[in-house]
Structure 1
Amino acid sequence: MSVSTRIAVIAVGDPSRHDAGVGGAVLSRLREYALKRPFPPGTVLAECDLDPGRLIRLWDGTELTVVLEAVHPHPSHPGRIHRLEWDPSRPTRSGTLLPRGLGEAVEVAYELDRLPARLVVYAVDTADTSLGPGLSPSVGAAVDMLVARVEDEIVRHRTAAARGATDPATA
């Protein structure tokens, strides 16, 4: 049985600012893995700035969108991964760690009825966002774990879609 899905994995951040490029590093690794184990048809891997319009265009019409982002909470534990999932009936989650642009995109998309069916955000605490290439050791160590988590989100989504379930947690 073939299951048709549309999935977007979107990295936001600035790779020229050390740890702010963690999402791009995860996408690079996912692209490498996809050469051996292709993703389901309709899966898009994209990088984007935090412009709400561009984000909405990338996730519009998707069944699953995974956003990868670097965050700067206080106190920070560099390399710590946060998983946030939106309830589609509520436009925002107060007190989240997300940058202003992503929160704005969610609010605008909610008003326009352009939120993805499922929106999952993986945010990573940063150590260094100064100008320069490469990730700090603690954030770099989180890349493989993030790759595994994104792949797991896709597998759970596909399993739920194949079963006709609306909640991937029950798959």
Structure 2
Amino acid sequence: MRKRTHIAIIGVGNEYRHDDAVGLIVVERLRERAAERPLPPGTALAACDGDPGRLISLWEGADLVLVVDAAHARPAEPGRVHRVELDSARLARAPSSSSHGLGLGEAVELSRVLGRLPDRLVVYAVEGADNSVGTGLSHTVARAVTPVVASIEEDIVRHRDRAARG
């Protein structure tokens, strides 16, 4: 019997802090595209402010979790995308350092302690240019949205193919 595929795609951010909204915009773009190309059954699209408790509740029970969030790096290269993939074996180990820049470190650690980690977690961190109050992405971050959406769609296809192979 095949295991039911469950995918959670979570956009993290604040729509009123310019580039911090990139995760929310990626999820919205995936919602729009799903009208033309439906996502696999059991796929959930969600927006989150990054609160660890809310993140855990959104990814609980998922086989694959894809999180998109804005990131800050020094030196910054606005629009650059960092893709970090962790499977359950790597997630089950206590982290040796914090991921405060993404706001996910506490959620991963708490999820690990509670035994509620997803099987796989993929984080797309998009370096931002403008986190001031206001709406709309900067040009460089806006250009990253379409490639991130395409990469997430590829992750979904790979996951579906793995699940079909058993």
- TM-score (norm: length of structure 2): 0.93
Counterpart contact for 1:73–1:97, Cα < 8 Å? no
Q: Which runs of 5+ in 1 are unaligned?
A: 165-171
* Count of paired positions: 163
Separation in structure 2 between the aligned mates of residue 88 and residue 140 of structure 1, nearest angstrom: 30
Post-superposition CA distance 1:68-96 (Å, at most 9, x none): 00011111100000011222332326365
Give the secondary-structure state (helix, strand or coil) at the position aligned to 1:142.
Answer: helix
Counterpart contact for 1:71–1:97, Cα < 8 Å? no
Counterpart contact for 2:72–2:127, Cα < 8 Å? yes
1:125 alignment counterpart: 127
After superposition, where does 1:13-92 map in structure 2 within 5 Å? 13-86=13-86, 87-92=90-95
Go from structure 1 to structure 2 and tell me whether the alpha carbon gap of 1:57 and 1:9 turns closer, same or farther (over 3 Å shift): same
After superposition, where does 1:128-147 map in structure 2 within 5 Å? 128-147=130-149
Give the secondary-structure state (helix, strand or coil) at the position aligned to 1:152.
Answer: helix
Separation in structure 2 between the aligned mates of residue 145 and residue 94 of structure 1, nearest angstrom: 29
Separation in structure 1 between the aligned mates of residue 94 and residue 5 of structure 2, nearest angstrom: 23
Give the secondary-structure state (helix, strand or coil) at the position aligned to 2:91.
Answer: coil
1:4 alignment counterpart: 4
Give the secondary-structure state (helix, strand or coil) at the position aligned to 1:141.
Answer: helix
Residue 153 (1) aligns with residue 152 (2): no
Q: Which of these residues, 110, 113, 117, is aligned with residue 111 of structure 1?
A: 113
Note the aligned Cα RMSD (angstroms). Answer: 1.6
Give the secondary-structure state (helix, strand or coil) at the position aligned to 2:137.
Answer: coil
Go from structure 1 to structure 2 and tell me whether the alpha carbon gap of 1:88 and 1:95 turns closer, same or farther (over 3 Å shift): closer
Percent pairwise identity = 55
Q: Which runs of 5+ in 2 are unaligned?
A: none
Post-superposition CA distance 1:115-135 (Å, at most 9, x none): 100001000000000011100
- Structure 1 residue 42 displacement after superposition: 0.7
- TM-score (norm: length of structure 1): 0.90
